[in-house]
Amino acid sequence: MSLFGAALIDSVAKTVHRQQLFRPGDTLVVALSGGADSTALLDLLSRFPDYGLHLIAAHLNHCLRGAESDADEEFCRKLALRHAIPFETRRIDINMAAATGRLNLEDAGRCARIEFLDEIRTTYGAAAVVLAHHADDQAETVLMRLLRGSGMTGLSGMAYRNDRGYVRPLLDIRRTEIEQYLRESGQEWREDASNSDTAYLRNRIRHELLPLLETYNPAIRSTLAATASVIGGDEALLEEMTSQSFGESCRMEEGRVVCNIGQLTMLNPALRRRVLRLVFKEAAGTLEGLSLCHIEALGDLLDSDRPNSRCSLPRGITAVREYDRLLLMQEIDAPLESGFEFLITEPGSYQLPAGGSLAVVLTGMADFAADPASVCIDPAKTPFPWLIRTFQPGDRIVPFGMSGRKKVKDIFIDRKIPLSERRRIPLLLCGDELLWIAGVCASELCRIDAGSAAAVRVTWSAQ
């Protein structure tokens, strides 16, 4: 082992220790393509001092280059054999996968690799999947995201460890160092011809933009990688603040994310944007499809003078403002728009289409307990059948103790009942007369007097 090789192993070991990427004795899945980067990664890990790692080589054949792809697979198989470690491989037609999933080749390949590597990691109970991205890859990634438009999250580049348990111990190493290490140790590697195809943005950055930038700053690759590292540290701090603010202002409730608008509006605008991103991620399970215009739309909901409003977001998510609450939910969980109605012809238990139930029970006398979820009705004055339905524009009721009619909509507004709940609240009618807004208000027509021989108690359970 040359002095350079020993120094490189020591440098990678320091990165692993500093970033706490894995521990001695761990089982690791090494993503092996056969290129210089992953070939060097496997060799470096096999020489790690006093770590006693259990390595598994995993290679995905994308079947994009015919015989060359097959030769890459065979090269990786022999490499694993030389290192005396298990070798796992899979063949997948990425062209077909891209067409089936309506993805470009790059996205289809990434999805296939993640699925494959996750499966191998689970099979072996590995502590991590190790990727061979290095400092030059980091520089290219930062530039690519800068050109496409990105905030701090994107400009922080690739993390040493991501939330999937994928680690990158070579992020502090240059490509030239990797190739020098392989040449000095007499190792071969495979070259992928597609890496020279400038139809791909990353390749244009690698072969055209970065060489141009080096005429302005010869150390531009290291500078970009160092900048990404600094931004990454700041990003980690902001993520911690974001999680704390999310926990203080938002909660999960029946599959929905429910946020306190007052608390969100008090946040620094930059922190609020980050919290709203996290709110969307919690609701959708991913940030894919989310852009700045969607965050601004959510901000407009928070700042709106309208107490009830909504907007549609990617991934089938609906955002709803209800007075002092902001809710994000899957569209299928959004408030009912069609409503419901059915007849009650006799005492019994009735399930409601929007969830919950009504219990209709004949009693000897009225119980005037102050329970808004229950009402007593004289069946002689308001006989069966009764109609149960949801709110309709123009509905009016004579509130108990009053003589004039009042719009149900105004009652909902006075009680600050959110729009999403209004279409779930059952209304009880006898003929054209509204007797009860369940859980909200009874009609004067429900008054039980001395001449009432019996009563029917109706109780609404929202669950």
Distance CA 186, CA 81 (A): 17
Domains of the chain listed by start with CATH number: 3-218 (3.40.50.620), 254-333 (3.30.465.60), 341-461 (3.50.40.10)
> In the predicted model, what is the mean pLDDT of residues 307-313?
87
pLDDT for 367:
59
Please, which residues bridge with residue 360 across strands? 348, 458
Residue 115: what are its φ and ψ, rounded to 5°?
-60, -45
Highest mean pLDDT among 191-205, 312-326, 341-355: 312-326
Average pLDDT on 442-459 reads: 87
pLDDT at 337: 52
Select the highest-mean-pLDDT range: 172-181, 298-307, 352-361, 447-456: 172-181
Please report the pLDDT score of residue 58 as a whole number.
Answer: 97
- Whether this prediction's pTM lies above 0.75 is answered by no
As a whole-number percent, the residues of the chain with pLDDT over 90 amount to 63
pLDDT at 196 over 80: no
Look at residues 438, 420, 373 and name the one whose alpha carbon lies nearest to residue 256.
420
Residue 445 CA to chain centroid, in angstroms?
Answer: 50
| Buried-exposed string 230-242: b where 16+ CB fall within 10 A, e elsewhere | ebbeebeebeeeb
Q: What share of the chain has pLDDT > 70, as a percent?
A: 97
User: Parallel, antiparallel, or unpaired for β 325-330 and 256-260?
Assistant: antiparallel
The dihedral through the CA atoms of 168, 171, 175, 181 has a sign that is negative
163 or 245: which leads in pLDDT: 245
Q: Taking 80 as the threshold, does the pLDDT of residue 323 lie above it?
A: yes
Q: What is the pLDDT of residue 231?
A: 92
* Residues ≥6 apart with Cβ < 8 Å to 449: 378
Model confidence at 250: pLDDT above 70: yes
Q: How many CB atoms lie within 10 A of CB 383?
A: 12
Mean pLDDT of 42-48: 95
274 and 249 Cβ atoms separated by less than 8 Å? no
Question: What pLDDT is stored for residue 429 in this prediction?
Answer: 94
**Which stretch of 56-65, 137-146, 169-178, 335-344 has the lowest confidence by average pLDDT?**
335-344
Query: pLDDT value at position 368?
Result: 54
Task: Check whether 243 has a pLDDT greater than 90.
Answer: yes
| Most confidently modeled range among 78-87, 105-114, 303-312, 356-365 | 78-87
Per-residue pLDDT of 205-222, as tens digits, reads 999 999 999 999 999 998
- Residue 338: per-residue pLDDT: 60
| Per-residue model confidence as pLDDT tens digits over 103-156 | 888 888 899 999 999 999 999 999 999 999 999 999 999 999 898 877 788 899
SS (H, E, C) the chain: CCHHHHHHHHHHHHHHHHHCCCCCCCEEEEECCCCHHHHHHHHHHHCCCCCCCEEEEEEEECCCCCHHHHHHHHHHHHHHHHCCCCEEEEECCHHHHHHHHCCCHHHHHHHHHHHHHHHHHHHHCCCEEECCCCHHHHHHHHHHHHHHCCCHHHHCCCCCECCCCEECCCCCCCHHHHHHHHHHCCCCCCCCHHHHCCCCHHHHHHHHHHHHHHCCCCCHHHHHHHHHHHHHHHHHHHHHHHHHHHHHHEEEECCEEEEEHHHHHCCCHHHHHHHHHHHHHHHHCCCCCCCHHHHHHHHHHHHCCCCEEEEEEHHHEEEEEECCEEEEEEHHHCCCCCCCEEEECCCEEEECCCCCEEEEEEECCCCCCCCCCEEEECCCCCCCCEEEECCCCCCEECECCCCCCEEHHHHHHHCCCCHHHHCCCCEEEECCEEEEECCCEEEHHHCCCCCCCCEEEEEEECC
pLDDT at 370: 60
Q: Which pairing describes strands 27-31 and 54-61: parallel, antiparallel, or unpaired?
A: parallel
Average pLDDT of the chain is 90
Tell me which of 132-136, 192-196, 301-305, 433-437 is least confident.
192-196
pLDDT in tens, 363-421: 876 655 567 889 999 988 899 999 999 999 899 999 998 989 999 999 998 998 887 78
pLDDT above 60 for 332: no
Collect all residues with Cβ–Cβ distance below 8 Å to 325 and sequence separation of at least 6: 258, 259, 260, 261, 418
Mean pLDDT over 453-462 rounds to: 89
CA 21, CA 78: separation in Å to the nearest integer? 27
Partners of residue 407 on adjacent β-strands: 396
Average pLDDT over residues 172-180: 94
Buried b (16+ CB within 10 A) or exposed e, 191-214: ebeeeeeeeeeeebbbeebbeebe
Residue with the bigger pLDDT between 309 and 450: it is 309
